[in-house]
Amino acid sequence: MDRRQHDRYSNLTDRILDEMRDADPAEWRPGWVSRTKGGRPINPTTSKRYRGGNVLQLWVTAAEREYATNEWAGYGQWRDRDAQVRKGEKGTVIRYVTRKEVEDDTAPEGKRIRTVVCWPTVFNAAQVDGYEPAEIELPDVAEIDRTAEDFLDTTEAEIRHGGDRAFWNKKGDYITLPQREQFTSTEHYYATAFHELTHWTGAAHRLDRNMTGRFGDRRYAAEELVAELGAHFLAAEFDMEATTTQDTARYLADWVQLLENDNKAIFTAAALAADAVDYSMNLALAY
Q: pLDDT tens digits for 8-45?
A: 778 888 988 888 888 777 667 676 665 566 678 999 99
Helices (DSSP H) in the chain: which residue ranges? 3-22, 53-65, 75-80, 141-155, 186-201, 218-237, 248-261, 265-286
Number of domains present in the structure of the chain: 2
Reduce the secondary structure of 3-45 to three states and give it as a string: HHHHHHHHHHHHHHHHHHHHCCCCCCCCCCCCCCCCCCCEECC
- The residues near 182 (Cβ < 8 Å, ≥ 6 apart) are 164
Per-residue pLDDT tens over the stretch 225-259: 999 999 999 998 888 876 777 677 778 889 999 99
Is there a domain that residue 20 lies in? no
Give the confidence band of 193 by pLDDT, cuts at 50, 70, 90.
Answer: very high
Say if residue 143 is in the same domain as residue 131: no
pTM for this prediction:
0.86
Residue 262 shares a structural domain with residue 148:
yes
Question: What gap in Å lies between CA 133 and CA 126, rounded to an integer?
Answer: 8
39 with 59, same domain: the answer is: yes
Residue 114 sits in the same domain as residue 195: no
End-of-domain residue from the set 136, 162, 192: 136
Query: Would residue 21 count as lying in a domain?
Result: no
* 169 DSSP β-pair partners: 174
pLDDT value of position 76: 98
What range does the domain containing 112 cover?
31-136
